[in-house]
Amino acid sequence: MYHPYFRGKQFELLTIREMAEVLAQKKFVPIIEPVKESLGGLNKALRAVCDKNGRAIAIVNPYHGAHRADASVVSDLLKDGYLENPAISAGILLREDMTVEDAIACYDRHRTHHPVFIHHGFVYPKDLAAEIAGGMPAMTNIFVEDQDKILYRKHFAGGKRILVKDGFTSRRNADYPEVEEFSDLHVTFRDRGMDGFGDFLTVGDVYREGGGPAYAVAIHITFIDPERDGVMYIYHFVSDDQTTPTDPAGKFAQALRKLIHKLDSGTSRILETSAIKEFRDLHAKGHFPGLGYVKKLSMKHHIETLADYFD
3-state SS of the chain is: CECCEEECCHHHHHHHHHCHHHHHHCCCCCEEECCCCCCHHHHHHHHHHHHCCCCEEEECCCCCCCCCCCCHHHHHHHHHHHCCCCCEEEEEEECCCCCHHHHHHHHHHCHHHCCEEEECCCCCHHHHHHHHHCCCCCCCEEEEECCCCHHHHHCCCCCCEEEEECCCCCCCHHHCCCEEEEECHHHHCCCCCCCEEECCCCCCCCCCCCCCCCCCCEEEEEEEEHHHCCEEEEEEEECCCCCCCCCHHHHHHHHHHHHHHHHHCCCCCCCCCHHHHHHHHHHHHCCCCCHHHHHHHHHHHHHHHHHHHCC
Question: How many residues are given for the chain?
Answer: 311
**4-8, 44-48, 160-164, 205-209: range with lowest mean pLDDT:** 205-209
Q: Does residue 56 contact residue 87 with C-beta atoms inside 8 Å?
A: yes
pLDDT of residue 107: 93
Going by pLDDT thresholds of 50, 70 and 90, the confidence category of residue 310 is very high
The more confident residue out of 71 and 269 is: 269
pLDDT, tens digit (0-9, with 9 covering 90-100), for 245-258: 999 999 999 999 99
pLDDT of residue 136: 72
Q: What are phi and psi of 235, to 5 degrees?
A: -90, 145
End-to-end CA gap in the chain: 13
Tell me the per-residue pLDDT of 140-159, one tens digit each, with 9 for 90 and over. Answer: 999 999 888 999 999 998 88
The 10s digit of each residue's pLDDT in 209-243 is: 766 778 999 999 999 999 999 999 999 999 999 99
| Conformational region of residue 176, where left means phi above 0, alpha means psi within -120 to 50, and beta covers everything else | beta
Q: For the segment 167-195, what is each residue's pLDDT rounded down to a tens digit?
A: 999 999 999 999 999 999 999 999 999 99
Distance CA 198, CA 163 (A): 6
11 near 296, Cβ under 8 Å? yes
Specify the pLDDT at position 138: 77
Per-residue confidence (pLDDT) for residue 211, from 0 to 100: 66
> Quick one: pLDDT at residue 41?
95
pLDDT at 306 over 90: yes
Mean pLDDT of the chain: 94
Give the pTM: 0.96
pLDDT exceeds cutoff 70 at 135: no
Ramachandran bin of 114, using left for φ above 0, alpha for ψ from -120 to 50, beta for the remaining angles: left
**What pLDDT, in 10s, does the model give residues 202-212?**
999 998 876 67
How buried is 2 (Cβ within 10 angstroms: 0-12 exposed, 13-18 middle, 19+ buried)?
A: buried
